């Protein structure tokens, strides 16, 4: 089956539907689109894998802090158990980095990530945060209850909405999320068909195509000659498939290789288009998946800013809001909060980090010693003074000076 026929069949399947089906698949179940092992199949597409890896690592790189309000300012409560769970080890089996990466992966691929806070039965203090295994949670959207049967992590039972942390992807009903793969299924399936077509071409000896011809025809033996030519073509094709590069032709038979057709060119262009389409679904710039798009420094910088503000930050806010809503009592909502430390975004970009720190000092937001403490460096003399740019002046002071000069005149 040709590549373009495979693509056509994808759209035919989309139109057909399943007659007689009384209920649709569970939210996040896209196995009907990709077949058995759907997640592994979709992740075998390089662009999908890179987008999921990028978003997961980007969130996991940022430590989440448990902040307590004191004297009107929020400071990190490092002695709290919750701080240890969020920054070091949420569960006995995984680090905080792996926890956040797996959480984002579930959110992207399944549309939902379920986390159960487990409390100590004696002290009633928060003991661990368990990310439920895939497929172990049934969400009754009508009763708004969650039935967990996670034998892998030792969590079973039925939980109410306020007893479980539920991170949702794009939602149509506000109850459950839908995975990115569900919306991108046609594009990903097309990419999979393209990968299979490429693999088949290599397996079949590359893109060797041609015509077998014999210009010396004998009258009365046309049908017999056609059969012999077909046998010769089949034999040559089989030998190319077996890895032979040079084959001999029988008798007066001539082989003419066909050059790259317009269909082949469209196939190559479609593969590039699929990369960009998948990136659009995940909100990732093509340059982040190592696409061969030419970028100068300015465009790369703009792409990075757009990714941080339009793609990454909404995921961070979603997590912060849901964790604060479930782990902080309503009466303490304005005294405690959970927040990712976004300063980690500049950890590897030293130039942007230096510019950002210089701007914060010039605006009087931080002192030199405060920023040095963040870099684990000792304080310096005079580093506790608040500095501002010499171009900034107090508006009231400027008005008083003008009025005073007018009085003197």
Q: Report percent pLDDT > 70 for the chain.
A: 65
**395 pLDDT exceeds 70?**
no
| Whether residue 283 sits in one domain with residue 253 | no
Mean residue pLDDT across the chain? 77
Q: Considering only 9-13, 196-200, 352-356, which range has the smallest mean pLDDT? A: 9-13
The pLDDT score that the predictor gives to residue 184 is: 85
Please give the full DSSP string across 208-226, using - where no structure is assigned: --EEEE-----TT-HHHHH
Domain-terminating residue out of 299, 318, 341? 341
Three-state DSSP class for residue 36 = coil
CB 307 within 8 A of CB 43: no
| Whether residue 335 sits in one domain with residue 226 | no
The pLDDT score that the predictor gives to residue 365 is: 84
| Whether residue 401 sits in one domain with residue 369 | yes
CB 211 within 8 A of CB 179: no
Starting at the earlier edge strand, list the strands of the sheet with 137-140.
137-140, 145-150, 155-160
| Whether residue 177 sits in one domain with residue 239 | no
The pLDDT score that the predictor gives to residue 124 is: 84
Distance CA 14, CA 29 (A): 16
| Whether residue 146 sits in one domain with residue 31 | yes
355 vs 409, residue with greater confidence: 355
The pLDDT score that the predictor gives to residue 251 is: 55
Three-state DSSP class for residue 117 = strand
| Whether residue 84 sits in one domain with residue 41 | yes
The pLDDT score that the predictor gives to residue 351 is: 75
Distance CA 288, CA 232 (A): 49
Domain of residue 112, residue span: 1-16+24-207+262-341
Q: Dump pLDDT digits (tens) for 24-66.
A: 334 444 444 444 345 668 888 888 999 999 999 999 999 999 9
Distance CA 52, CA 40 (A): 12
**248 pLDDT exceeds 60?**
no
| Whether residue 365 sits in one domain with residue 335 | no
Distance CA 71, CA 34 (A): 55
CB 232 within 8 A of CB 250: yes
Domain-terminating residue out of 288, 308, 341? 341
300 vs 118, residue with greater confidence: 118
- The mean pLDDT of 1-17, rounded to a whole number, is 45
- Joined together, the tokens standing for residue 165 give 């942390």
Q: What is the pTM of this model?
A: 0.71
| Whether residue 153 sits in one domain with residue 187 | yes
CB 275 within 8 A of CB 248: no
The pLDDT score that the predictor gives to residue 35 is: 42
The pLDDT score that the predictor gives to residue 269 is: 67
| Whether residue 189 sits in one domain with residue 56 | yes
The pLDDT score that the predictor gives to residue 396 is: 55
The pLDDT score that the predictor gives to residue 393 is: 61
| Whether residue 94 sits in one domain with residue 227 | no
Range among 183-187, 267-271, 387-391 rated most confident = 183-187
| Whether residue 336 sits in one domain with residue 221 | no
Three-state DSSP class for residue 337 = strand
Please give the full DSSP string across 4-28, using - where no structure is assigned: HHHHHHHHHHHHH--TT--S-PPTT
**16 pLDDT exceeds 50?**
no
23 vs 272, residue with greater confidence: 272
**366 pLDDT exceeds 80?**
yes
Q: Considering only 205-209, 285-289, 345-349, which range has the smallest mean pLDDT? A: 205-209
In the chain, the number of structural domains is 3
The pLDDT score that the predictor gives to residue 8 is: 46
Nearest one of 172, 182, 192 to 281, comparing CA atoms: 182
**372 pLDDT exceeds 90?**
no
**185 pLDDT exceeds 90?**
no
The pLDDT score that the predictor gives to residue 286 is: 87
Q: Dump pLDDT digits (tens) for 332-348.
A: 989 999 999 987 777 66
| Whether residue 225 sits in one domain with residue 337 | no
**205 pLDDT exceeds 80?**
no
CB 38 within 8 A of CB 181: yes
Q: Dump pLDDT digits (tens) for 252-265.
A: 556 565 555 545 55
- The mean pLDDT of 380-406, rounded to a whole number, is 67
Domain-terminating residue out of 341, 366, 385? 341
Distance CA 78, CA 84 (A): 7
Q: Which residue has the tokens 């077909």?
A: 230
The pLDDT score that the predictor gives to residue 52 is: 94
The pLDDT score that the predictor gives to residue 36 is: 35
Q: Dump pLDDT digits (tens) for 98-129.
A: 999 999 999 999 999 999 999 988 888 899 99
């Amino acid at each position: 089956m040709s590549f373009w026929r495979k693509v056509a069949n994808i759209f035919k399947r989309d139109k057909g539907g399943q007659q007689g089906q009384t209920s649709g698949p569970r939210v996040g179940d896209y196995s009907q689109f990709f077949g058995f092992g759907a997640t592994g199949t979709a992740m075998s597409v390089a662009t999908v894998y890179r987008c999921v890896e990028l978003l997961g690592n980007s969130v996991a790189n940022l430590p989440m802090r448990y902040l307590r309000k004191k004297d009107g300012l929020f400071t990190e409560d490092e002695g709290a158990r919750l701080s240890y769970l969020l920054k070091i080890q949420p569960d006995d089996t995984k680090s905080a980095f792996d926890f956040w990466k797996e959480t984002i992966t579930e959110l992207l691929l399944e549309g939902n990530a379920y986390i159960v806070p487990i409390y100590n039965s004696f002290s009633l203090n928060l003991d661990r945060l368990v990310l439920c295994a895939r497929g172990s949670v049934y969400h009754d959207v009508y009763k708004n209850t969650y039935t967990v049967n996670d034998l892998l992590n030792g969590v079973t039972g039925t939980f109410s909405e306020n007893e479980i942390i539920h991170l949702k992807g794009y939602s149509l009903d506000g109850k459950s999320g839908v995975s990115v793969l569900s919306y991108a299924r046609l594009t990903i399936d097309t990419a999979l068909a393209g990968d299979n077509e490429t693999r088949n071409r290599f397996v079949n000896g590359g893109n060797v195509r041609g015509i077998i011809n014999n210009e010396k025809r004998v009258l009365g033996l046309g049908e017999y000659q056609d059969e012999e030519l077909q046998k010769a073509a089949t034999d040559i094709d089989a030998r190319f498939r077996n890895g032979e590069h040079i084959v001999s032709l029988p008798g007066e038979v001539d082989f003419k290789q066909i050059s790259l057709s317009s269909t082949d060119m469209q196939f190559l262009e479609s593969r590039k288009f699929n990369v960009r389409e998948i990136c659009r679904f995940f909100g990732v710039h093509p340059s982040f998946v190592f696409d061969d798009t030419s970028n100068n420094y300015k465009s790369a910088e703009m792409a990075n800013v757009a990714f941080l503000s339009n793609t990454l930050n909404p995921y961070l806010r979603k997590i912060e809001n849901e964790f604060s809503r479930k782990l902080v009592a309503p009466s303490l909502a304005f005294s405690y909060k959970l927040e990712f430390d976004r300063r980690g975004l500049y950890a590897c970009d030293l130039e942007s980090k230096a510019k950002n720190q210089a701007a914060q000092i010039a605006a009087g937001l931080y002192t030199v010693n405060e920023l040095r403490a963040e870099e684990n460096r000792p304080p310096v003399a005079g580093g506790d003074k608040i500095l501002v740019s010499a171009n900034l002046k107090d508006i009231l002071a400027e008005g008083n000076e003008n009025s005073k000069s007018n009085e003197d005149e």
